Amino acid sequence: MSARDRLRDARRIVVKVGTSTLTHPSGGMNLHRIEHLVRELIDEANQGKEVLLVSSGAIAAGMNTLGLKERPAGVPERQALAAIGQGALLHIYEKFFHEYGRTMAQVLLTKENAARHHQYMNSRNALLALLGMNVIPVINENDAVATAEIKVGDNDNLSALVAILVQAEQLYLLTDQQGLFDSDPRKNPQAKLIPVVDKITDHIRSIAGGSGTNLGTGGMSTKIAAADVATRSGIETIIAPGNQANVIVDLAYDQAIGTKFTVQADRLESRKQWLFAAPSAGVLVVDEGAESAVLIQHKSLLPAGIVEVNGRFSRGEVVRIRTRAGKDIALGMPRYNSDALARIQGKHSQDIERILGYEYGAVAVHRDDMIVL
C-alpha cells in the first residue's frame, strides 16, 4: 500500500478545533457549529475510524458565562474562567454526543503528562483504552491548574502530542482561516493559499502570523510548529477551515482542502516520538566540534563539547542541544542531571567519575537517545 493510500484509509485521526471555530464573533458559543462538529466525528467513528477531539474553548465559554467581551491578561483570571467554562463546554458536548448516541470522555492533559517516559506511556494507555471501548475522547489543556501552559498555541501543540501518543495517521487543525497563505490574507487580499507543504522551512515559519481573535490563544505560527512535530513523527497534518460544512468528512476522503503538510520521514520508533512530544526541560549549548559530531558524524554528545548548561532538569528528561549561535540542532535525553552536567561540562570523559564520584557512562547524551532537528 502506498503512503497516499495508507493516509486515505487512515483509521486513527486527531481533530483539533480552535476557539474561533467554536464561537461567534460576538463571543457566544456557536452551538450550530459544535453540533455539526460532533455529528461529523460520530459519522467517522460509525465507519470504523478512531477519532479523538482536542478542543479549545474553555476560557471562551467562561467569558460567555460571565458576559465578558475581552480576554483577561492575568493568569489567575484566565484560570478562573477556564474552571467556569470547562463545565459549560463539557455540558454542550455531552448533550450533542448523547443526542447522536455516542459516548464521549473528557480528558484533561498538559505537556507535563509527557515530561517523563512513564507518564507519556500512562497517558497513551489511557487514551487507547478509551478508543478500545468505542469512546470518543474530548481532550483539553488543563487550563484551570496550568500556568506556563496557558499561552499561545497550547492546544495546537497539545494536539500534536495527542496524535503522537496514539500514533495517529492524520492530524486535522481546524481554524478560522482557509489554510496557510503566502502572506496574511487579512491584510493582503491578493494572498494565495499554499495547498501542500512538503518541508517546513524558515520561510514557511516566517509567513505565519499571530492569533486571529481575542478569544483564543493559537495562531498560524503555533499550527506550523505543531505540524512540524507531527510530520516528523510520521503524521500527515492538515490546516483547514473549521467553519466549512462537512470539513472532517471531506478531509477523511482526501479532498483538497486547506494546507496539507506531508510526512517528513518514516514513522519514528516510539521512544524517539516521545522526544518530540515531551516538553524541553533545559538546554545544552555546545561548541563547534560537538555540533559537527552531532550533525555530520552522527555521534553521541560528550561532556567535553558542552559549553553551557541552562535550566534545571533530572536525568532522563528531554533537553534541547543548541549551538553557540542559538540554533537548536537536536533533542536528547541526557544521562546526567543539570547539576552534574554543569560540573563536567568541557571535561574529558575519563574525568567524570573523579569529578562526580560516580559515572553513568562516557557520554552526556547517547546517539540512541537523540533526534537531530
Q: What are phi and psi of 297, to 5 degrees?
A: -90, -10
pLDDT, tens only, 137-182: 999 877 666 555 444 346 888 899 899 989 899 999 999 889 999 8
Query: Higher-confidence residue: 98 or 369?
Result: 98
Rg of the chain, C-alpha, whole Å: 22
Cell digits for 109? Answer: 492533559
Say if CB 261 and CB 236 are below 8 A apart. Answer: yes
Contacts with 355 (C-beta within 8 Å, 6 or more apart), sequence order: 343, 344, 347
pLDDT, tens only, 178-207: 999 988 787 888 889 999 999 888 888 888
Q: Is the pLDDT of residue 212 over 60?
A: no
3-state percent breakdown (helix, strand, coil) of the chain, nearest 5: 40, 20, 40
Q: What is the mean pLDDT of residues 13-31?
A: 90
Domain with CATH 3.40.1160.10 in the chain: 3-272
Q: What is the mean pLDDT of residues 205-227?
A: 69
**pTM, rounded to two decimals:** 0.81
What architecture is the 280-372 domain classified under in CATH?
A: Roll (2.30)
Strand pairing report for 236-241 and 196-197: unpaired
Give the other-Cβ count within 10 Å of 57's Cβ: 29
Q: What are phi and psi of 192, to 5 degrees?
A: -115, 140
Q: Is the pLDDT of residue 14 over 90?
A: yes
CA neighbor of 220 nearest in space, from 231, 212, 228, 232? 212
Reduced to 3 states (helix: H, G, I; strand: E, B; else coil), residue 345 is: coil
Confidence band, pLDDT 50/70/90 cuts, at residue 9: low
Q: Is the pLDDT of residue 98 over 50?
A: yes
Domain with CATH 2.30.130.10 in the chain: 280-372
The CA–CA distances, whole Å, from 371 to 104, 269, 272, 287, 368 equal 35, 11, 7, 18, 8
Instruction: Give the pLDDT of residue 184.
Output: 79
Instruction: Give the pLDDT of residue 67.
Output: 86
Name the DSSP letter for residue 44: H
Q: What are phi and psi of 255, to 5 degrees?
A: -75, 145
Instruction: Using a pLDDT cut of 90, give the percent of the chain over it.
Output: 54
Contacts with 220 (C-beta within 8 Å, 6 or more apart), sequence order: 175, 177, 180, 208, 209, 210, 212, 239
Give the other-Cβ count within 10 Å of 126's Cβ: 15
Instruction: Give the pLDDT of residue 275.
Output: 81
Cell digits for 154? Answer: 497550547
Q: Is the pLDDT of residue 218 over 50?
A: no
CATH 3.40.1160.10 assigned to domain 3-272? The reply is yes
How many residues make up the chain in this entry? 373
CA–CA distance, 229 with 58 (Å, rounded to integer) = 25
Angle, in degrees to the nearest 10, between helices 31-46 and 75-99: 60
Instruction: Give the pLDDT of residue 54.
Output: 95
Q: What is the mean pLDDT of residues 42-71?
A: 91
Q: Average model confidence (pLDDT) for the chain? A: 86
- Paired with 319 in beta bridges are 282, 332
Farthest CA pair distance, the chain: 68
